[in-house]
Amino acid sequence: MEKIKRTEIVDLFKPCAKELIGKDVCVKAWVRTKRGNKNVAFLALNDGSTIKNIQIVVEIGSFDEDVLRRITTGACVRVEGLLVESMGKGQSVEIQARTIEIYGEADTETYPLQKKGHTLEFLREIAHLRPRTNTFSAVFRIRHAMAYAIHKYFNDNGFFYWHSPLITASDCEGAGEMFQVTTLDMEQLPRNEEGKVDYTQDFYGKRTSLTVSGQLEGELGAMSLGKIYTFGPTFRAENSNTPRHLSEFWMIEPEMAFYEIEDNMDLAEDFIKYLIRYALENCQDDLEFLQSMYDKNLTDRLRFVLDNSFVRLTYTEAIDILSASGHKFEFPVHWGVDLQSEHERFLVEHHFKSPVILTDYPKEIKAFYMKQNDDGKTVRGMDVLFPLIGEIIGGSQREENMEKLVSRMKEVGINPKDMDWYLDTRRFGSAPHSGFGLGFERLLLFVTGMSNIRDVIPFPRYPKNANY
Ligand code: ATP
Ligand code: MN
* One-letter amino acid for residue 432 of the chain: P
For the CA of 212, the nearest atom of ligand 1: 10
- Residue 336 neighbours by CB distance under 10 Å: 12
Q: HSE-up of 363 (CA within 13 Å, CB side)? A: 22
For the CA of 392, the nearest atom of ligand 1: 20
Give how far Cα 312 sits from Cα of 43, 262, 373, 399, Å. 53, 10, 17, 21
pLDDT of residue 460: 97
Paired strand residues for 314: 359
pLDDT of residue 174: 57
Q: Atom 3 in ligand 1: which residue has the minimum CA distance?
A: 391
pLDDT of residue 3: 84
Q: Is 245 in the pocket of ligand 1 (CB under 6 A)?
A: yes
pLDDT of residue 125: 94
Nearest-angstrom CA–CA distance, 304 and 206: 50
pLDDT digits (tens), the chain, 468 positions: 678 999 999 999 999 999 999 999 999 999 999 999 999 999 999 999 999 999 999 999 999 999 999 999 999 999 999 999 988 776 689 999 999 999 999 999 999 998 778 999 999 999 999 999 999 999 999 999 999 999 999 999 999 999 999 999 986 665 568 999 999 999 999 999 999 999 999 999 999 999 999 999 999 999 999 999 999 999 999 888 899 999 999 999 999 999 999 999 999 999 999 999 999 999 999 999 999 999 999 999 999 999 999 999 999 999 999 999 999 999 999 999 999 989 999 999 999 999 999 999 999 999 999 999 999 999 999 999 999 999 999 999 999 999 999 999 999 999 999 999 999 999 999 999 999 999 999 999 999 999 999 999 999 999 999 999
Contact 348, 357 (CB under 8 A): no
285 φ, ψ (degrees, to nearest 5)? -60, -45
Ligand 1: centre distance to CA 152 (Å): 23
Q: Atom 1 in ligand 1: which residue has the minimum CA distance?
A: 391
Ligand 2: centre distance to CA 211 (Å): 16
Nearest-angstrom CA–CA distance, 91 and 384: 42
Q: Which of 239, 247, 251 most suits a substitution to test ligand 1, by most atoms within 8 Å of the C-beta?
A: 251
Paired strand residues for 59: 40
pLDDT of residue 87: 82
- pLDDT single digits (tens) 108-157: 999 999 877 899 999 999 999 999 999 999 999 999 999 999 999 999 99
Paired strand residues for 35: 42
- Residue 126 neighbours by CB distance under 10 Å: 15
pLDDT of residue 90: 67
Give how far Cα 335 sits from Cα of 21, 319, 330, 338, 377, Å. 68, 6, 16, 9, 11
Ligand 2: centre distance to CA 252 (Å): 13
Nearest-angstrom CA–CA distance, 203 and 425: 28
Q: Atom 23 in ligand 1: which residue has the minimum CA distance?
A: 439
SS3 assignment, position 429: coil
CA angle 399, 401, 405 (to 5 degrees): 60
Q: Which of 391, 441, 454 most suits a substitution to test ligand 1, by most atoms within 8 Å of the C-beta?
A: 391
pLDDT of residue 175: 59
CA angle 381, 438, 392 (to 5 degrees): 75
Q: Is 437 in the pocket of ligand 1 (CB under 6 A)?
A: yes
Ligand nearest to the Cα of 392, by number = 1
Q: Is 261 in the pocket of ligand 1 (CB under 6 A)?
A: no
pLDDT of residue 281: 98
- Residue 191 neighbours by CB distance under 10 Å: 11
Give the alpha-carbon dihedral of 84, 88, 89, 94, to 10 degrees: -40
Q: Atom 15 in ligand 1: which residue has the minimum CA distance?
A: 439
Q: Is 173 in the pocket of ligand 1 (CB under 6 A)?
A: no
What's this model's pTM, rounded to 2 decimal places? Answer: 0.96
Q: Atom 2 in ligand 1: which residue has the minimum CA distance?
A: 391
Q: In what order do the strands lie in the sheet with 208-210?
A: 167-168, 208-210, 180-181
Contact 254, 222 (CB under 8 A): no
* One-letter amino acid for residue 136 of the chain: F
Please list the alpha-helical segments (H only) found in 412-459: 420-427, 440-448
CA 465 to the chain's CA centroid: 18
Contacts 24+ apart (CB under 8 A), 87-90: 88/55
Q: HSE-up of 84 (CA within 13 Å, CB side)? A: 12
Ligand 2: centre distance to CA 121 (Å): 28
